[in-house]
Amino acid sequence: MIIDHDTLLITFIMGKKDVPIHAFPEPILQWSAKLYQESWKIPYFQLIENDYCIGHQKCGGNAQYIQKDRWLHHTSFLWDYSDTYMNLLKMPEKKPKYRENRSHVEFLTRLKDHAPNYHDLIESLVQQLSKRANIVNFNFKTWEEKPHRKSTEKIILY
């Protein structure tokens, strides 16, 4: 996947006290999929084989970290993307069945083609989430940068 300024990154950091679900992959995925469905009301938005899809086209992938009763669920949603850049990606060795050997461009869809606008998408998610959990706003500008392990590398494609 290519991550750039048109990728919508959403991360939930939760504990047993925050939401009434078990800290296991499937309940977390079901909880988040229901949250997105109720927030965005995008027709045919669904969870298929651990991917967020609209119809049978992927619009988001996720990663989870679970420890005891706490968990982190991160999703990279494709608000928009360049077909040219997606065509640079190799076909992954491990593919979900529903992909059916489609190219990246055929397999993926943009959220912007299914939602009114970016701002409304975020606002509706925040409203629905605030009904389910306590939201803590975080100002990244006040966050003191600390040394950390760097395992990613930025690649400029253009």
Q: Tokens standing for 114? A: 């299914």
How confident is the model over 94-136, as pLDDT tens digits?
Answer: 999 999 989 888 999 999 999 989 999 999 999 999 998 888 7
Helix axes 25-40, 118-132, angle to 10 degrees: 120
The rounded radius of gyration (Å) of the Cα atoms in the chain is 17
Alpha-carbon gap, residue 77 to 61, rounded angstroms: 7
pLDDT at 158: 67
CB 53 within 8 A of CB 47: yes
How confident is the model over 10-65, as pLDDT tens digits?
Answer: 999 999 889 989 999 999 999 999 999 999 999 999 999 999 999 999 999 999 99
Domain map (residue ranges) of the chain: 7-134
- Residues in a beta bridge with 128: none
The alpha carbon of residue 102 and the mean position of all alpha carbons in its chain are separated, in whole angstroms, by 21
| Residue 72, SS3 per DSSP | strand
pLDDT of residue 86 exceeding 90:
no
**Homologous superfamily of the 7-134 domain (CATH):** Bira Bifunctional Protein; Domain 2 (3.30.930.10)
